[in-house]
């Protein structure tokens, strides 16, 4: 293994595909600009949080959810249900993004309003608001760090080789990774311990335990409401109206968040030690284009600037990105334009899962390497 942790052939493992390409953005070098320069390039009004405007998006999305459910229940046709599941699952994902803004404090300047709206939106889609908010904050603060990142972080070679067969297949075999979010909430990622529901988890500080208990209680209250609804209107009705869209929502969440950090044509670096910085980690995120769905899920694909400055409201991310691009230069990768549906990203997801398996246990700048045995359906011992 080279001094930068660059992929080299090891016994039983192959060099990551595409690793011979030019290193992304000169990954071995510190960026020639500071985060303050990016911040200064973004117009001041992009930082303004408008509570009324944010609430208008909540009203829009909640109205759409109610209208879709009412229409599907009224029509109750096998021709309607699949379309409803996709549309409603997409709206559940939109609700999640607004709750995500509440967690960042970009929804409004009022912390109490942020928490009330965040609990309402996230509890409805079975996400423990504070538990997730705190772990997501850790993800932003440590993105790009091999050991300290929280979401879709790489496995080290040692951890990868120690995975049980079931976990190994579920983590890297399509379509299982795009259903990973509920498992992540309960037990986090391989190599990490704790739960988003348990106040004693090492995810949380002592003063955050009360918030975690509140969010967990809200989560169980929503689950109880679903069970009562199943008793009143029947389990099949609840499965059609809620459970199937929930599965689509989970697919959206895992699909989008994975592609924020994986799948670029050139290998993106991960850092350790003194090589890591908040700026360098944030610059390895990726913008993605989802066509007409961009507006529905509140431009969450405009992700680079969001990762660097999560305080910017979602409705200003496009303008902020446009202003930041001259400073970012080659450190910004233009997303591939989407057609009516972002089907081009399905290939990106599949390709990444085939080659992005683990990083070296050593080195301060490392890149994903591939295990050829994974696609041969035989786990190395």
Cβ atoms of 206 and 218 within 8 Å: the answer is: no
317-338 pLDDT, tens digit each? 999 999 999 999 999 999 999 9
Nearest to 129 by CA among 102, 93, 110: 102
Nearest to 32 by CA among 281, 304, 327, 332: 327
Of 135-149, 152-166, 273-287, the range with the lowest mean pLDDT is 152-166
Average pLDDT over residues 267-276: 92
Q: Residue with structure tokens 């997801």?
A: 349
- In 3-state terms, what secondary structure has residue 342? coil
As a whole number of angstroms, the distance between CA 179 and CA 174 comes to 10
Average pLDDT over residues 203-207: 94
As a whole number of angstroms, the distance between CA 285 and CA 328 comes to 13
335-363 pLDDT, tens digit each? 999 988 899 999 999 999 999 999 999 99
pLDDT of residue 235: 98
Query: Confidence band (pLDDT; 50, 70, 90) for 175?
Result: confident
Query: Confidence band (pLDDT; 50, 70, 90) for 378?
Result: low
Cβ atoms of 212 and 134 within 8 Å: the answer is: yes
Mean pLDDT of the chain: 90
For residue 25, pLDDT over 90 is answered with no
217-260 pLDDT, tens digit each? 999 999 999 999 999 999 999 999 999 999 999 999 999 999 99
| DSSP structure class, residue 18 | T
pLDDT of residue 28: 53
For residue 9, pLDDT over 80 is answered with no
For residue 14, pLDDT over 70 is answered with no
For residue 286, pLDDT over 60 is answered with yes
Start-to-end CA span in the chain (Å): 21
pLDDT of residue 4: 38
Of 26-30, 60-64, 138-142, 225-229, the range with the lowest mean pLDDT is 26-30
Tell me how far CA of residue 170 lies from CA of 186, 255, 289, 358, 377, in angstroms: 16, 15, 27, 15, 12
As a whole number of angstroms, the distance between CA 329 and CA 304 comes to 13
As a whole number of angstroms, the distance between CA 352 and CA 357 comes to 9
74-109 pLDDT, tens digit each? 999 999 999 999 999 999 999 999 999 999 999 999
Tokens representing 268 are 């993106």
pLDDT of residue 252: 97
- In 3-state terms, what secondary structure has residue 274? helix
pLDDT of residue 374: 74
Query: Confidence band (pLDDT; 50, 70, 90) for 375?
Result: low
Query: Confidence band (pLDDT; 50, 70, 90) for 170?
Result: confident
Q: Residue with structure tokens 């004693």?
A: 200
As a whole number of angstroms, the distance between CA 45 and CA 114 comes to 20
pLDDT of residue 381: 45
Q: Could you tell me which residues are beta bridge partners of residue 271? A: 145, 365
As a whole number of angstroms, the distance between CA 376 and CA 62 comes to 45
36-49 pLDDT, tens digit each? 999 999 999 999 99
113-154 pLDDT, tens digit each? 999 999 999 999 999 999 999 999 999 999 999 999 998 889
Tokens representing 334 are 């233009």
Give the torsion through C-alpha atoms of 257, 48, 328, 263, to 10 deg. 10
pLDDT of residue 379: 54
Average pLDDT over residues 185-197: 89
pLDDT of residue 2: 36
pLDDT of residue 372: 82
For residue 304, pLDDT over 90 is answered with yes
As a whole number of angstroms, the distance between CA 198 and CA 134 comes to 12
Nearest to 12 by CA among 145, 204, 157, 112: 157
């Amino acid at each position: 293994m080279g001094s930068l942790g660059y992929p080299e052939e090891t016994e039983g493992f192959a060099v990551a595909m595409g690793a011979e390409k030019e290193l992304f953005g000169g990954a071995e070098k510190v960026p020639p600009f500071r985060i303050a320069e990016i911040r200064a390039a973004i117009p001041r009004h992009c930082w303004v949080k408008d509570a009324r405007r944010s609430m208008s998006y909540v009203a829009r999305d909640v109205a759409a959810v109610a209208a879709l459910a009412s229409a599907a229940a009224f029509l109750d046709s096998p021709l309607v249900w699949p379309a409803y599941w996709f549309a409603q699952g997409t709206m559940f994902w939109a609700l999640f993004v607004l709750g995500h803004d509440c967690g960042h404090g970009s929804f409004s300047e009022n912390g109490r309003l942020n928490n009330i709206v965040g609990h309402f939106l996230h509890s409805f889609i079975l996400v423990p608001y504070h538990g997730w908010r705190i772990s997501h904050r850790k993800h932003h603060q440590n993105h790009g760090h091999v050991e300290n990142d929280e979401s879709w972080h790489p496995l080290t070679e040692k951890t990868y080789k120690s995975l049980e067969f079931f976990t190994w297949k579920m983590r890297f075999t399509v379509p299982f990774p795009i259903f990973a979010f509920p498992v992540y909430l309960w037990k986090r990622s391989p190599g990490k311990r704790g739960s988003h529901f348990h106040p004693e988890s090492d995810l949380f500080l002592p003063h955050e335990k009360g918030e975690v208990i509140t969010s967990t209680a809200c989560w169980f209250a929503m689950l109880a409401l679903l069970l009562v609804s199943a008793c009143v209107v029947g389990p099949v009705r609840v499965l059609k109206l809620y459970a199937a869209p929930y599965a689509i929502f989970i697919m959206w969440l895992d699909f989008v968040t994975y592609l924020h950090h994986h799948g670029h044509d050139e290998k993106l670096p991960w850092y350790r030690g003194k090589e890591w910085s908040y700026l360098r980690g944030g610059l390895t995120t990726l913008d993605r284009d989802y066509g007409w769905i961009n507006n529905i899920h509140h431009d969450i694909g405009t992700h680079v600037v969001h990762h660097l400055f999560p305080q910017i409201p979602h409705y200003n991310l496009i303008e902020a990105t446009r202003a930041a691009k001259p400073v970012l230069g080659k450190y910004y990768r233009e997303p591939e334009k989407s057609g009516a549906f972002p089907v081009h990203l399905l290939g990106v997801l599949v390709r990444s899962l085939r080659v992005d398996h683990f990083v070296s246990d050593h080195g301060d700048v490392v890149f994903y390497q591939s295990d050829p045995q994974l696609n041969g359906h035989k786990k190395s011992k």
